[in-house]
Amino acid sequence: MLSAAQRLRRREEFAATIRAGRRAGRGVVVVHLDAPDDLGTPQVPDDTSPAPAGRADLPVRAGFVVPKTVGKAVARNKVRRRLRHLIRERLDRLPPGATVVVRALPGAADRAFPELAEDLDAALIAARRRQPRRSRREGR
């Protein structure tokens, strides 16, 4: 189980992550990752650098979307439990202050646990490599 500090709960938190985050889908999962801009640089504090600004001191937070197209309530809850277990093991690999929304697609209930783990890993890797979404106004 994820601690309360590690969970997304409110609709606004989910919407902000989906709107501003990077999206990547693999297999039966889609990951929306909203992380600090410096994903490629390791966060190694030293005495000469200023304190990192923003979300660096916040925990990584995760939320799950498992729609009715995945199956009945029992199947959806099973998928949610599996995804929660998988993401808990991977939170330390994400940058501090990141938020993740994992959306299950139809077929997730029939996917074996190791295959679901592979899909999640591939989607997380792809989301970290993608460029952040640009606002429509930035392009003009």
| 66: confidence class by pLDDT, cuts 50, 70, 90 | very high
Q: Are strands 99-104 and 29-34 parallel, antiparallel or unpaired?
A: antiparallel
- Whether 35 and 94 have beta carbons less than 8 Å apart is answered as yes
Q: Among residues 6, 38, 37, which one has the least CA distance to residue 102?
A: 6
Q: What confidence tens digit (pLDDT) does each residue in 70-92 have?
A: 999 999 999 999 999 999 999 98
Distance CA 13, CA 30 (A): 17
Helices (H), the chain: 11-20, 73-90, 113-129
Distance CA 77, CA 26 (A): 21
- Which range among 13-22, 58-67, 129-138 shows the weakest confidence by mean pLDDT? 129-138
pLDDT at 44 over 60: no
Tell which CATH classification among 3.40.50.300, 3.30.365.10, 3.30.160.270, 3.30.230.10 matches the domain 4-36+58-129: 3.30.230.10
